Amino acid sequence: MTPGSIADLQKALLAKKTSVLSIVKHYLEQIASTSDLNIYVRVFEKEAIEKASALDDKIQNGEPVGKLAGLVLSVKDVICIEGQEVSAASKMLEGFQSLFTATALQRLLDEDAIVIGMVNCDEFAMGSANENSVFGPVKNPLDPERIPGGSSGGSAAAVAADTCLISLGSDTGGSVRQPASFCGVSGFKPSYGRISRYGLIAYASSFDQIGVIGNSPDDIYKVLQIMEGEDEMDATSTAFMNYTPSKEKIIGWIPEIMNHPGLDPDIKNESDLVMEKLKDEGYELKSFDFPLLDYIIPTYYIMTAGESSSNLSRYDGVRYGHQTKENVNLENFYRKSRAEGFGSEVKRRIMMGTFVLSAGFYDQYFGKAQKVRRMIKEAMENIFMECDYIICPVSPVRPWKIGEKIEDPVSVYLSDIYTVIANLAGVPAISIPLKSMSSPYASIQLLGPKGSDHYLLTQASELLKKF
């Protein structure tokens, strides 16, 4: 077996109790034995073994190695790796090979991390179930009849199935935290701008962030410290100041969320138990009104649909993407190429986005959504003036069975109600599993002020020890 954390891994390697090659081989065996879960779309067996052997030679010879030597990770199929195919789980990008590596991933590779493969996801990261993929749905390792969550369902399943120690995903509206919750692992979305988006295939640019899924907040913290920071290739990236908590042991909670009629009774009960335990531990639980809750989902889907329709307009079969083989005129060439290349969910969001950005409806929809987003951001900032972080459920529902909601996209959209708040406000958030609860899907979410990523991860680590 492999060490359970990056810290354990480093100790075992330096003590020469294990080798990088044996760790890589373990994960390759796990990938093979769990192939029925449909997690991986590409496995880099040769490259991983070669890198592992080279690192073992360095360790044996006493040569210096990177801070992440021996860490084996997987990457969501929307993050570019030089020389490797990246398809965003779409026919539109079938056969496309990247000419460069995403900055965030390159920083990990520079510290001797090893990428073992690319994992499945919803097409162009659009979905909450990992069923919208040209490669077919991913199955939840905890129950193969159920979804793993989405859009980073492959990343969460990869960690839960012990095929890697860390997986990089992307989080536009909860796409790292929700699948992590459904698969019983930890998933972290950073403050907007903390991690470079260069090399991440865009869905909605003002929402997207590369996120991290792992077995613990401590492992995620180690990876974040290496990935984060300003990048000249991404104008939205920034170097954050260290965050200093001012309201120690004051945790915020929102009654509109905890008492929402759509919240599963068992999830509410678990959340209440968490809050009671925190009170017993000496924390102060302070409630805050949030009357904008019902506007969150409409605002999120109007804005992300608008941004996605703009971002995906480049995939027209001429500049990028799938080209139809039919002999048609130019206008029909565009139509056929996009109709054949995109799946149904992507088409749905492109059409919705085109509508809300159209001249006659822009002010009525997209313009108003921008104003509501600003109000949500300001409301969150006011709450964080009186507490250091907010606690709430990750999702109002448990993972449903594969195929159960294919014909009901609206109910799937509503399952994101507790996660999209962080993306609308640009703040960090983490999902952590509650191992002490009876349900394997039990989890809780922490949201902190913008820039409080390091503090939030340390608090998540402390809470995880209590549950």
Where would I find the beta strands (DSSP E) of 263-418?
A: 284-287, 389-392
Residue 91 in tokens: 């026919």
Phi, psi dihedral angles at 192 (to 5 degrees): -60, 125
Among 133, 151, 395, 431, the active-site one is 151
Contact between residue 151 and residue 172 where contact means Cβ atoms under 8 Å apart: yes
Among 175, 191, 308, 431, the active-site one is 175
Look up 313 and say whether it is catalytic. Answer: no
Look up 151 and say whether it is catalytic. Answer: yes
Give the three-state DSSP class for 371: helix
* Distance between start and end Cα atoms, the chain: 25
Where would I find the beta strands (DSSP E) of 291-428?
A: 389-392
Please give the order of strands across the beta sheet that includes 209-214: 40-43, 114-119, 72-76, 166-171, 209-214, 186-189, 429-433, 443-447, 389-392, 250-253, 284-287
Residue 368 in tokens: 């108003």
Alpha carbon distance 16, 26 (integer Å) = 17
Give the three-state DSSP class for 79: strand
Closest to 131 (Cα-Cα) out of 31, 123, 305, 75: 123
Alpha carbon distance 46, 320 (integer Å) = 29
CB-CB neighbours of 151 under 10 Å: 35
Alpha carbon distance 161, 31 (integer Å) = 8
Cα dist from 291 to 255, 377, 422, 444, whole Å = 10, 13, 16, 22
Q: Which residue has the tokens 């313009």?
A: 367
Burial class, 319, CB count within 10 angstroms (exposed 0-12 / middle 13-18 / buried 19+) = exposed
Among 51, 76, 189, 450, the active-site one is 76
Q: Which residue has the tokens 């529902």?
A: 397
Residue 197 in tokens: 């988006």
Where would I find the beta strands (DSSP E) of 273-418?
A: 284-287, 389-392
Look up 186 and say whether it is catalytic. Answer: no
Alpha carbon distance 357, 363 (integer Å) = 8
Which are the catalytic amino acids? Answer: 76, 151, 175
